[in-house]
Amino acid sequence: MTFVGIARTIQIFTSGNWHDAMVLSFDNPEKGFESRCSYGYEHTYLVNNFEDISTPFAKAVSAKLPLDWDGVR
Protein backbone atom coordinates (compact mmCIF):
# COMPACT_ATOMS: atom_id res chain seq x y z
CA MET A 1 0.00 0.00 0.00
CA THR A 2 1.35 3.44 -0.90
CA PHE A 3 0.80 6.19 1.62
CA VAL A 4 0.58 9.91 0.87
CA GLY A 5 0.45 12.93 3.13
CA ILE A 6 1.53 12.38 6.71
CA ALA A 7 2.01 8.80 7.91
CA ARG A 8 2.28 7.52 11.47
CA THR A 9 3.26 4.10 12.76
CA ILE A 10 1.03 2.42 15.34
CA GLN A 11 2.85 0.06 17.67
CA ILE A 12 1.66 -2.87 19.79
CA PHE A 13 3.26 -3.80 23.11
CA THR A 14 3.44 -7.56 23.47
CA SER A 15 5.85 -10.03 25.03
CA GLY A 16 7.68 -7.17 26.73
CA ASN A 17 8.50 -5.31 23.48
CA TRP A 18 7.06 -2.67 21.19
CA HIS A 19 6.38 -3.78 17.60
CA ASP A 20 5.57 -1.60 14.57
CA ALA A 21 2.19 -3.01 13.59
CA MET A 22 0.28 -0.58 11.37
CA VAL A 23 0.73 2.55 9.30
CA LEU A 24 -1.94 5.27 9.42
CA SER A 25 -1.74 8.12 6.94
CA PHE A 26 -3.76 11.27 6.30
CA ASP A 27 -3.93 12.72 2.78
CA ASN A 28 -4.69 16.27 3.92
CA PRO A 29 -3.95 16.58 7.64
CA GLU A 30 -4.78 20.29 7.54
CA LYS A 31 -8.45 19.28 7.00
CA GLY A 32 -8.53 17.44 10.32
CA PHE A 33 -11.23 14.77 10.56
CA GLU A 34 -12.42 15.62 7.03
CA SER A 35 -9.15 14.33 5.56
CA ARG A 36 -9.20 10.99 3.82
CA CYS A 37 -7.06 8.41 5.59
CA SER A 38 -5.47 5.06 4.81
CA TYR A 39 -4.28 2.32 7.10
CA GLY A 40 -2.79 -1.13 6.87
CA TYR A 41 -0.69 -3.58 8.79
CA GLU A 42 3.07 -3.62 8.22
CA HIS A 43 3.94 -6.69 6.17
CA THR A 44 6.81 -7.58 8.50
CA TYR A 45 4.38 -7.57 11.42
CA LEU A 46 1.98 -9.84 9.52
CA VAL A 47 4.76 -12.26 8.61
CA ASN A 48 5.91 -12.40 12.24
CA ASN A 49 2.32 -13.13 13.36
CA PHE A 50 1.24 -15.26 10.41
CA GLU A 51 0.05 -18.17 12.56
CA ASP A 52 -2.47 -15.87 14.32
CA ILE A 53 -4.14 -14.40 11.23
CA SER A 54 -7.89 -15.21 11.30
CA THR A 55 -7.82 -16.36 14.92
CA PRO A 56 -9.33 -14.70 17.99
CA PHE A 57 -5.82 -14.73 19.51
CA ALA A 58 -4.31 -12.37 16.92
CA LYS A 59 -2.24 -9.48 18.25
CA ALA A 60 -4.27 -6.90 16.34
CA VAL A 61 -4.40 -3.14 16.83
CA SER A 62 -8.13 -3.46 17.57
CA ALA A 63 -10.80 -6.15 17.68
CA LYS A 64 -12.44 -4.23 14.80
CA LEU A 65 -9.20 -4.27 12.78
CA PRO A 66 -8.12 -7.92 12.56
CA LEU A 67 -4.82 -8.87 10.99
CA ASP A 68 -5.19 -8.57 7.23
CA TRP A 69 -2.88 -8.25 4.22
CA ASP A 70 -5.03 -5.59 2.55
CA GLY A 71 -4.88 -1.95 3.49
CA VAL A 72 -7.96 0.24 3.74
CA ARG A 73 -8.53 3.64 2.17
| pLDDT at residue 19, as a whole number | 96
pLDDT band at 3 (very low <50, low <70, confident <90, very high): low
| pLDDT at residue 43, as a whole number | 95
Under 8 Å between Cβ of 5 and 27: yes
List the single range of 23-27, 29-33, 41-45 with lowest mean pLDDT: 29-33
| pLDDT at residue 4, as a whole number | 56
Sequence-distant (≥ 6) Cβ neighbours of residue 14 within 8 angstroms: 59
Q: Where are the domains of the chain?
A: 6-52
Q: 22: exposed, middle or buried (C-beta count within 10 Å: 0-12, 13-18, 19+)?
A: buried
